[in-house]
Amino acid sequence: MSVGELNGDGLRVHRLLQWVSTGFPLPIDVYTLSCFWRATICNNSVAIIIIPAVLRFQQKMSHTTTIPVIDIGAFVDAAKRADSDATAASLGAAFRDVGFAYITGHGVPSAVIQKAFSHAKRLFELPMDAKEALSMTGANAHTHRGYSGFGDEVLNEETKDWKEAFDIGYDLPPSDPDVAAGVPLHGPNVWPSHESAPELATFKHDLELYFSHMERVGRSLLVGFEKHFGLADGYFEPFFQRPLVLMRLLHYPPLPEEMLNSTTPGRDIVTCGEHSDYGGLTLLAVDAPGLQVKSTNGEWIAAPPMGNDALIVNLGDMMQRWTNDVLKATPHRVVNVNPLAHRYSIPFFFEPNFHSIVRCLEPCLRLSGTTVPKYPDTQYGPYLLSRYDATFNHRKDDESNPTNARPGRY
Given the rule CB under 5 A, which residues bind Fe ion?
Answer: 277
Q: What is the nearest approach in angstroms of ligand AKG to the Cβ of residue 9?
A: 25
- Alpha carbon dihedral 122, 128, 134, 137, in 10-degree steps, equals 140
The residue range among 135-143, 207-215, 260-268, 283-291 that interacts with ligand AKG, by the rule CB under 6 A, is 283-291
Residue 252 one-letter amino acid: Y
Among 345, 378, 403, 404, binds ligand AKG (CB under 6 A): 345
Q: What is the nearest approach in angstroms of ligand AKG to the Cβ of residue 183?
A: 24
Measure the CA–CA gap between 46 and 207, rounded to whole angstroms.
42
> Based on CB atoms, which residue is closest to ligand AKG, 53 or 311?
311
Cβ partners under 8 Å of residue 8, min gap 6:
42
Q: What is the nearest approach in angstroms of ligand AKG to the Cβ of residue 375?
A: 21
Q: What is the nearest approach in angstroms of ligand AKG to the Cβ of residue 179?
A: 26
Determine contact, residues 378/402, Cβ cutoff 8 Å: no
Measure the CA–CA gap between 375 and 125, rounded to whole angstroms.
44
Q: What is the DSSP string of 100-139?
A: EEEEE-----HHHHHHHHHHHHHHHHS-HHHHHTTBSSGG
Among 20, 55, 327, 334, binds ligand AKG (CB under 6 A): 334
Q: Is 137 in the site for ligand AKG (CB under 6 A)?
A: no
Measure the CA–CA gap between 112 and 118, rounded to whole angstroms.
10
Q: Which helix (H) or strand (E) holds 251?
A: strand 246-252
- Alpha carbon dihedral 58, 91, 247, 216, in 10-degree steps, equals 130
> Based on CB atoms, which residue is closest to ligand AKG, 72 or 284?
284
- Burial class (CB within 10 angstroms; exposed 0-12, middle 13-18, buried 19+) of 49: middle
Among 347, 352, 381, 382, binds ligand AKG (CB under 6 A): 347
Among 61, 94, 286, 385, binds ligand AKG (CB under 6 A): 286
> Based on CB atoms, which residue is closest to ligand AKG, 58 or 345?
345
Q: What is the DSSP code (8-state) at residue 223?
A: H
Q: What character string, x for contact with ligand AKG (CB under 6 A) and - otherwise, covers 224-263?
A: --------------------------x-------------
Q: Which helix (H) or strand (E) holds 165?
A: strand 164-169
By Cβ distance, which residue is nearest to Fe ion? Answer: 277
Q: What is the nearest approach in angstroms of ligand AKG to the Cβ of residue 329?
A: 11
Residue 272's binding partner among ligand AKG, Fe ion, none (Cβ under 5 to 8 angstroms by kind) is ligand AKG
> Based on CB atoms, which residue is closest to ligand AKG, 126 or 272?
272
Q: What is the nearest approach in angstroms of ligand AKG to the Cβ of residue 277?
A: 5
Q: What is the nearest approach in angstroms of Fe ion to the Cβ of residue 332?
A: 6
Of 16, 26, 112, 23, give the one whose Cα is nearest residue 311.
Answer: 112
Q: What is the nearest approach in angstroms of Fe ion to the Cβ of residue 383?
A: 16
Among 67, 136, 255, 291, binds ligand AKG (CB under 6 A): 291
Strand partners, 110: none
- Burial class (CB within 10 angstroms; exposed 0-12, middle 13-18, buried 19+) of 110: exposed
Q: What is the nearest approach in angstroms of ligand AKG to the Cβ of residue 3?
A: 31
Among 164, 167, 226, 277, binds ligand AKG (CB under 6 A): 277
Q: What is the DSSP string of 186-220?
A: -B------TTT-GGGTTHHHHHHHHHHHHHHHHHH
> Based on CB atoms, which residue is closest to ligand AKG, 229 or 344?
344
> Based on CB atoms, which residue is closest to ligand AKG, 284 or 384?
284
Determine contact, residues 220/75, Cβ cutoff 8 Å: yes
Among 53, 61, 272, 283, binds ligand AKG (CB under 6 A): 272
Give me the residues that bind ligand AKG (CB under 6 A), please.
250, 272, 277, 284, 286, 291, 332, 334, 345, 347
